[in-house]
Amino acid sequence: MMAIFSVKNLGKLALWAGSTIAIVGVIALVSVAVYVAQVTQDLPDYEQLAEYEPPIMSRMHAGDGLLIAEYAFERRVFVPIEAIPPHVTNAFLAAEDANFYNHGGIDLMGLARAAIANIGNVLNGRRLEGGSTITQQVAKNFLLSSEQRIARKVQEMVLAMRMERAFTKDRILELYLNEIFLGNRAYGVAAAALNYFDRSLDELELHEVAYLAALPKAPNNYHPERHPEAAIGRRNYVLARMHANGFITEAEMREAQAQPLETVSRLQGETYLAAEYFVEEVRRELFNMYGEEQLYSGGLSVRTSLNTRAQLAARSALRAGLVEYDRRYGYRGPLTTLENFDAWPEQLAEVEVPRDLDEGWVHAVVLEVRERDVVIGMADRSRGTIPLSELTWARAPSRRSSDNFPVLGPSIQRPSDVLELGDVVLVQRLSEEGEEYGLRQVPEINGAVMALDPYTGRVLAMIGGYSFQQSQFNRATQARRQPGSSFKPFVYAAALDNGFTPASIILDAPFAATGGGDNRFYRPSNYSDQFYGPSTMRLGLELSRNVMTVRLAQDTGMQPIADYAARFGIYDRMDPVLSMALGAGETTLWRLMSAYGALVNGGRRVTPTLIDRVQDRTGETIYLHDQRECTGCDAEWTNGMAEPDLAELGEDVVDPVTAYQIVSMLEGAVRRGTGSALNALGRPVAGKTGTTNEFRDAWFVGFTPDLVVGVYVGFDTPVPLGSGEAGGRAAAPIARDAFAPILEEYPVAPFRVPEGVRLVPIDARTGEPSILGRPGVILEAFRPGTEPVRGATREEETLSFATGRLRETEDGSQDSDDEGSDEDLSGIY
């Protein structure tokens, strides 16, 4: 009876227990269902991912294809799944979700492994594992927050299952690989490949791909420089997982695991430093064109006009020229002085040094001052010496109180005249083998250089100062300064179109112009304070004679000159006063370059441009600078085929004959005049110097048949550069050194002579007709009918020594005109 009772009781107990468990289970399932329903009732719309366009960084390239800048809130380059190499996807699958193509959004085995692992993580105080699949990570990254809550995890799982039904596996993997943050400012695998290795995905080696796949868990923990051992360990783990999942062989795994981890820093180095002023100017223009959102998230592809070789040459020439000027006016003292030497290497390492120093410049401390040299120490504890010969330039500078010109103190006799114990100075090793150094200092003076294609307006190079990192003020586009004598060619152009010829005689002699304001009279003078008598108009421009230019402007009238200044784009509006004839107005190097470009371009002015083309994220061109149609440009070339007819860019601002006459005279200014520094280039070059009153600004704009280069030099707060620091000394050598490397890309050719020009041999000094081969005889450019005739008397030609203006009267004779002017002259050179 007891056995039967026990069995019956046990059966009832089991039934009761089973019923209870079932009821509890149902309640639990209902509770879970209710909970899931509650936390997922406001889930984001995952279907938006079908049309998702992630923020993509905009990229800027030079004209030769070199990447020079990137702009992004999130640095990302979107790559479709079809273009991602298989070993890249395999590496991420092995590291993150090897069962990706087999589960429905949730990997139950992975969750179980994570749950077991989290027991140990809790006991050891480590971060919990989520066991998330790639689909879950996409749901979290795109649609949810990253907070560690059960509710968020439930939402993630539900979204993952729904996404798996709505999208293909490849689409989900594509979103993941392009969205995931991989450290080093990189979002997505393509950006990470560039930022870590400076290569595209298809150029990466296996061990590099594995390193990228090691990063999703915690990029900062596997930083290649801060945590190299952990980075290599995690990379090797990924390689082992790739082998375990059959993606690579054991031999491939071991070979990749043996490789060192070597990453690079992108967008650094001399090429990128040289482009900084150019890049910033383009960024401003793009910002104005498209706005912040499009620039930083729209994935624009920008092709600029920059020639990286020309940019490097311009930067090198400007920095060298500014340093050379700076050394002419002495040494301004050490960066700082150390008080004691108990730990001088550590102290030296903490000294703030100017940014963007020339290559090879380092800072050092003076450890010993000897009779013929000084001993210096560098932060790396190495030592060297500065010989006396490298200190003789370092005289004490000052400025005269009378004219504010820079002057120098006594000559240097011994090292102690310059340096003292503890001085922290900039130095440069004189040779790779030796231990001798030269004393250096960052110049206070500044300047700008530009190179321009005069036919298209493409700016090939633009340097806005000594260093963008020290000053972002762009002196090529933002500094408005007086151009001085570099404005004279446009005065002469106006005169040529008003009856003068290059052989016209103008009197270089004292005269008084009617003054204005408080000045009753003005008596202009030349740079040399001398007068040279009757001279040809050509000679006046070649040698930059001020008195001749003023007399010419007075006779031509200032209104035509003002009109030409506006047509050439130098000024928006120029006051028609005589002082403007010598460059008293204010303009920029950018504007002056455009004006000179019109001269070499046969009288057509083309607006300078920095941007060739802009494409949107799909590759569609949304901006194109050169929109000319070229019929036949894509035709297959055959012998005897005519060149396609391509319309010229720009607008006509002066007659081609007049433009060539100015070009010819400016070629003489280089051969025989103020721009003679450029003769060293050994090819046809024309140009004009410019120097303003009291030597406050120095200019030079020069050009060959296909290239214009302009230089401006001056202090940001205008003060005199120094006696004799004219454009020919301070600016022209910089232009020469900028020209030289760039011109290697151009053939040697003469300036193009347009139709309507008659070349006649004349004496360069007297303007009289002559015979080629005689000393001083040149071929001068005339309009037909204006050239001087051999054997004609001076009365027949009616040449006025006062002005040299040739004017035809109604009966065909020529008469000279001498108009007065009551305008004031400021005395600009």
Q: Which amino acids are annotated catalytic? A: 96, 485
* Cβ atoms < 10 Å from Cβ of 683: 15
CA dist 256 and 238 (Å) reads 11
8 Å CB contact between 761 and 770: yes
H or E, element range at 88: helix 86-96
Q: How many Cα atoms occupy the beta-carbon half-sphere of 816 within 13 Å? A: 18
316 backbone dihedrals φ, ψ, rounded to 5°: -60, -45
Answer for the pair 175, 76: CB distance below 8 angstroms, yes or no: no
SS3 string, 555-613, reads HHCHHHHHHHHHHCCCCCCCCCCHHHHHCCCCECHHHHHHHHHHHHCCCEECCCECEEE
DSSP 510-552: ---EE--TT-SEE----TTS---EEEEHHHHHHTT-HHHHHHH
Tokens representing residue 630 in the block: 């070229």
Residue pair 224/260 in contact (Cβ under 8 Å)? The answer is no
Specify the pairing of strand 459-463 against strand 397-399.
unpaired
Give the residue ranges of DSSP H helices in 167-275. Answer: 169-179, 189-197, 206-213, 228-244, 250-257, 270-274
Token pair listed for 621: 């061109």
Could you give the CA distance from residue 53 to residue 124 in angstroms, rounded to a whole number?
Answer: 41
| d(C-alpha 307, C-alpha 190), whole Å | 27
Determine the Cα angle at 308 with ends 303 and 310, to 5°: 125
Lookup: tokens for 171: 């689409």
Helix (H) or strand (E) holding 67: strand 67-71
Q: Which residues of 358-384 are buried (b: 16+ CB within 10 A; e: fewer)?
A: beebbbbbbbebeeebbbbbbbeeeeb
Separation of first and last alpha carbons in the chain: 133
Which is nearest to 412 in space by CA: 394, 385, 387, 438?
394
> CA torsion, points 393, 394, 398, 400, in degrees to nearest 10?
-20
Distance separating alpha carbons of residues 596 and 667, to the nearest angstrom = 13
Residue recorded with tokens 């020339």: 358
Torsion over CA: 688, 486, 316, 306 (sign): negative
- Burial tier of 428 (Cβ tally within 10 Å: 0-12, 13-18, 19+): middle
| Rounded distance between C-alpha atoms, residue 286 and residue 263, angstroms | 31
Q: Distance between CA atoms of 606 and 604, rounded to whole angstroms?
A: 6
Place of tokens 């996404």: 163
Determine if residue 139 is left, alpha or beta; phi over 0 gives left, psi from -120 to 50 gives alpha, anything else beta.
alpha
C-alpha distances in Å from residue 628, one per residue of 304, 631, 648, 683:
18, 10, 8, 32
- Containing 621, the helix (H) or strand (E) segment is strand 621-624
Q: How far is CA 96 from the centre of its chain?
A: 41
